[in-house]
Structure 1
Amino acid sequence: MGWRLAMVVPGALMLVVAVLYWKFTQDCPQGNYKDLRAAGVEIEGGKKGGWAVFKAAMGNYRSWMLFVTYGACFGIELFVHNVAASYFVDRFKLDLQTAGMAAGSFGLLALFARAVGGILSDRLAHRKGLDARTTLLFALMVGEGLGLLWFSRTQTAGMAVVAMICFGLFTHMACGATYALVPFIDRKALGGVAGIVGAGGNVGAVAAGFLLKAVGDTQDCFAVLGFAALVSSVCAILVRFTAAHKASEQALYDKALAERLAQSGAPAPVGLARAS
């Protein structure tokens, strides 16, 4: 009954959040699409409707590169959540409660590590420009892959927990760094891009499950996933932006920063920062 009762709390909270979201949020910063269309306001990315936006997102190769990277970080994260406890029981002969505590440490990283990945992406982009976001994601994916290979070859339960936390940090931060890139792929098809990238996580988890079934051994499956993460890191480097795209993002950043400064009444800086 324990796990059944544990589902009641998040289930009830999801219903509460759903009502709050429906009641208090809007479609975009300017308002709800229906009201804006009725007022004759041109909506960037929303006027043509969902299918047109989704087709535009599908036609952008960067969406599919991040689809792969998210599958290799969030997908693997979901897979680890599913098998970590049983892995500690089967390989290291821990009792179920101790194995659950060890596996739970991986999930706790989501409380801060995802945000850290996004924050690092913002800070690096602030200093070095848009391409720094892709470089960071590449580095995090490499760290995840190497950490998974280490985790798959540990011989003691204690070292396995340390390895899991290490590769888990890279995995969660890579998730945050992936979505830190999403808003800059195509502003006019942002919803479509976000949906495609998010679906990559689910596809990655399902693929990892089929891989485990094919390999038949969880330890070997982790090793294969480590190599898969290393290969997938190349997709992060392949996400590139034209000079015109960077200039457009820089102009939008400068405008937003100037508006914020005007609202706060603070004096404008001598030189505006690089676009994040």
Structure 2
Amino acid sequence: MSDQQQALAAGRGRNLALATLAFAVSFWAWNVIAPLGVRYADQLDLSSGQKSLLVATPVLVGSVGRILAGALTDRYGGRVMFTVLLLISAPFVLLVAFAGDQGSYALLLVFGFFLGIAGTTFAVGIPFVNAWFDKPRRGFATGVFGAGMGGTALSAFFTPRFVDWFGYGATHGIVAAVLVAVAALSWIGMRDSPAWAPSSDSVVPKLVAAAKLPVTWQLSFLYAVAFGGFVAFSTYLPTYLKDVYDFDLSAAGTRTAGFAVAAVAARPLGGVLSDKVGPKVITAVSFAGTVVMAGVVALQPEPEIPAGASFVLLAIFLGLGTGSIFAWVAQLAPAERVGSVTGIVGAAGGLGGFFPPLVMGATYNEQDHSYTIGLGLLMLVALAALVFSQWGISRSRGGSPSASRP
């Protein structure tokens, strides 16, 4: 075994664990507004559209910012980028609390916009953990790292409870302090893989080169549906459960956390299964299941067990897809472009989560307490993604038509 192989074997577990922790904490911060959406709606007398915009706004920067974060990771490495992004995010958590205390919807939107910086860490972690693992185990590695999206579950479960236990301002102070602590831990404990080499290319040409790869946009579409569906439900589900089932803030948060945990648990499974049978098969299962379960949810099954089981199954199918699609990225993206491709694909996933809450708010039938139209649109989009995943993906590294593993 070479010195590099020994170093990889010795460091991959620790660095994967730290990256997953940093990702989870940053996603908690990124999602800190959504679990309190009902509170803000009552406090500020928000319409359905205003409420939807508030919970969706952090998703916007967290999505688009991944393009730049991924390209910068190719140049500076994951250790630097995780540390910097966590530190930058902390003040905006506190500023969101300030806006809430002031009762200012405009300030909540502004600071929520910048809070989206916390959501860019996904594009840092994928190339970071990719470099620590050999190709046959990258689906596993990206799947485990992707489980850090469980930070949304932590936020959904703990944020409203922390507000009850410690108060509104103190809750945001705790989240900000955790961001700073994990930033310090990342700087001290993380190391970039010895197999990684910093890119000296300028950021813009790297992004242009990644954007020219057909596979970048093909996988972006699929990830926009799978991860976008997860983000949309994770941010909007408290509102949905209040409107349809009349759950209070804590009860809705608990059930949203259950949804997120199910999706998080399914993500590494999607990566592992993709290593074994190929991401194409697992992606097909994901989208087919999403079509079916979105239809079931639209029928408004009775609480608790029928509705709960329906949402959990929907979360599992979406989680499988988030794992399988990034296993596909690891297979098809050129090694020197993984960070840039990840940034673009990750941005598409986040943008996929930005629009559905707005659509759900716009199509909500207040008289019937129904989101049938929005869920019907999800079914159509997931069906289109299913068809495209089986017949529309270029099958070789970089997107040329030569044969490769499906």
Q: TM-score, normalised by structure 1?
A: 0.73
Cα distance 1:56–1:13, how it changes in 2: closer, same or farther (>3 A)? same
5 Å matches for 1:124-163?
Answer: 124=277, 132-158=278-304, 159-163=306-310
Q: Is residue 83 of structure 1 aligned with residue 229 of structure 2?
A: no
Q: How does 1:175-214 map to 2 (within 5 A)?
A: 175-187=322-334, 188-214=336-362
Residue 35 of structure 2: aligned partner: none
**Shift in alpha-carbon separation, 1:103–1:186, aligned structure 2, 3 A:** closer
The verdict on how the C-alpha distance between 1:119 and 1:157 changes in structure 2, with shifts beyond 3 A counting, is same
- State which structure, 1 or 2, has the greater radius of gyration over its C-alpha atoms: 1
Partners of 1:26 and 1:32 within 8 A in 2: no
Sort the Cα spacing of 1:97 and 1:166 in 2 relative to 1 into closer, same or farther, 3 A. same
Aligned: 1:240 with 2:394: yes
Q: Which amino acid in structure 2 is aligned with residue 210 of structure 1? A: L
Shift, 1:199, TM fit = 0.4
**2:126 is matched with which residue?**
none
- In structure 2, the CA distance between the partners of 1:119 and 1:10, relative to structure 1 (3 Å rule), is farther
Three-state SS of the structure 2 residue aligned to 1:157 is coil
Counterpart mapping for 1:1-276 below 5 A: 1-2=163-164, 4-31=169-196, 33=198, 46-124=199-277, 132-158=278-304, 159-187=306-334, 188-217=336-365, 218-237=371-390, 238-242=392-396
Q: Distance in 2 between matches of 1:197 and 1:165?
A: 25
TM-score by length of 2: 0.51
Gapped runs of 5+ residues in structure 1? 34-45, 125-131, 251-274
Q: Deviations over 1:103-144 (max 9, x none)?
A: 2210122442111111111121xxxxxxx3223212211211
Change (3 A) 1:222 1:63: same
Relative to structure 1, the CA distance from residue 170 to residue 208 in structure 2 (aligned partners, 3 Å threshold; closer, same or farther) is same
Question: Could you say what the CA RMSD is over the residues aligned between the two structures, in angstroms?
Answer: 2.9
Give the drift of 1:51: 2.7
Distance, in Å, in 2 between the alignment partners of 1:243 and 1:78 is 28
Change (3 A) 1:111 1:13: farther
| Structure 1 pair 67–222 and aligned structure 2 pair: CA distance change class (3 A) | same
| CA gap 1:30/1:154 in 2 versus in 1, 3 angstroms | same
The answer for unaligned runs of 5 or more in structure 2 is 1-162, 366-370
CA apart distance, 1:6: 4.0
Percent of pairs with identical residues: 22
Distance 1:70 1:232, change over 3 A: same
What is the CA–CA distance in structure 2 between the aligned matches of 1:51 and 1:243, rounded to whole Å? 22
2:183 aligned partner, one-letter code: A
Q: Distance in 2 between matches of 1:226 and 1:4?
A: 39
Instruction: Report the AA paired with residue 160 of structure 1.
Output: A
Q: Give the conservation status (yes or no) of the 8 Å contact 1:146–1:230.
A: no
> How many residues were matched structurally?
232
